[in-house]
Amino acid sequence: MLTKKHKNVLQLQTNKFVETLMVGNYKTHFKNTGIEFADFREYQDSDDAKNIDWITSSKVGKAMMKLFDEQRELDVYFLPFFWEDLNLTFNGKDKREIFEEILYILWISTIKEQNKFWSVYYDNKKINIFPLGKSNAHFHDFFNKIENNNFYQDQIILNISQDKWNIIGNTISDKLKYFNSLKIKNNLVFLFTSDLEIDNKQLKIAALKNDLIICNVFHSFENSLEGNWIVWLKLGWKEIFIDLDNKKKKQEFQKLRKQKVIDFRKKILKSWAKYLYFDEKVNIFWELNKFFNNR
């Protein structure tokens, strides 16, 4: 959980971060394209393929993007799709704190640009929909709920009315399918998860309808099994002991896990969504700065 001092430091750093991005004639990446066509330019890897003009591209022999002068506000959607693993603590670093720091930075950036944010999150087998808003009080209310959320999940239940219940599955693909059913379009969506499996169909639907950014959030231990002998972990209220003395099995795990992360990233990018990787060793400001400058 972030301390008050940590939050204040993050706010000062993020304000400077956003102001740096806004130097000169920078157009905020928390804005969407408008309706007035301006010009063409050559397609770049980080561009949204939805804006490719295929007729012009066929004439010039390379992919060309439509550019627009007008821009409008983007609503920003936060989708924390975690399990109990978010509560993992090892070597004095809490995985939840990594996620909360990312969330806090993105919120300050959103508020600075006068954008609204919205969220779907899961707790105690129930979907919680946090409404659109852009005030500081609105975010702090949401953030307090996230801080106190254990993300214990078996089967997700949405209470539609007093006499009707809608049951949703407990995989990230099930949750993404529910989000896609909300008919939300043309907005900025940050999906946070530690999962490395996702349904290709639901992923493509979400990426087609919105500017989708998948943020993998880990504690580095999950991918490296660093340490020797008996390792003690804290997972929420549980204490777990793992024997890491078998070097052969450990190396096999590291190799397989590394490839799984690579394959997951490729799958995300192939769907035209964007991908970001975070753990306690990553400089969050640097990664977000690089990401937005390359968009």
Alpha carbon distance 147, 111 (integer Å): 20
Alpha carbon distance 90, 19 (integer Å): 35
Alpha carbon distance 73, 34 (integer Å): 9
Alpha carbon distance 2, 104 (integer Å): 10
| pLDDT confidence tier of residue 158, bands split at 50, 70 and 90 | very low
Cross-sheet strand order for the sheet of 117-123: 164-168, 156-161, 126-133, 117-123, 76-81, 188-193, 211-217, 274-278
Instruction: Enumerate residues 6+ apart whose C-beta is below 8 A from 105.
Output: 10, 13, 14, 17, 284, 285, 288
Residue-level pLDDT at 159: 45
Residue-level pLDDT at 267: 96
| pLDDT confidence tier of residue 170, bands split at 50, 70 and 90 | low
> For the segment 14-70, what is each residue's pLDDT rounded down to a tens digit?
666 655 544 333 344 455 554 445 566 787 776 777 777 777 777 778 888 776 544
Alpha carbon distance 13, 286 (integer Å): 11
Q: Are 68 and 38 in contact (CB under 8 A)?
A: yes
Beta bridge partners of 96: none
Angle, to 10 degrees, between the axis of helix 200-209 and the axis of helix 247-270?
Answer: 40
Residue-level pLDDT at 231: 60
Radius of gyration of the chain (CA): 20
- The tokens describing 68, both together, are 């627009």
- Quick check: helix, strand or coil at residue 131? strand
Alpha carbon distance 12, 10 (integer Å): 6
Alpha carbon distance 72, 124 (integer Å): 37
Q: What are phi and psi of 276, to 5 degrees?
A: -135, 140
Residue-level pLDDT at 65: 78
Written as one letter, the residue type at 42 is E
With a cut of 50, say whether residue 210 has pLDDT above it: yes
Alpha carbon distance 73, 188 (integer Å): 10
> For the segment 221-230, what is each residue's pLDDT rounded down to a tens digit?
888 888 766 6
Beta bridge partners of 67: 39
- The domains of the chain, with CATH numbers, are 4-33+72-294 (3.40.50), 37-68 (no CATH)
The alpha helices in 181-246, defined as continuous H runs, are 200-209, 221-224
Alpha carbon distance 235, 248 (integer Å): 26
With a cut of 60, say whether residue 167 has pLDDT above it: no
* Percent over 90 (pLDDT), the chain: 20
- The tokens describing 125, both together, are 């087998």
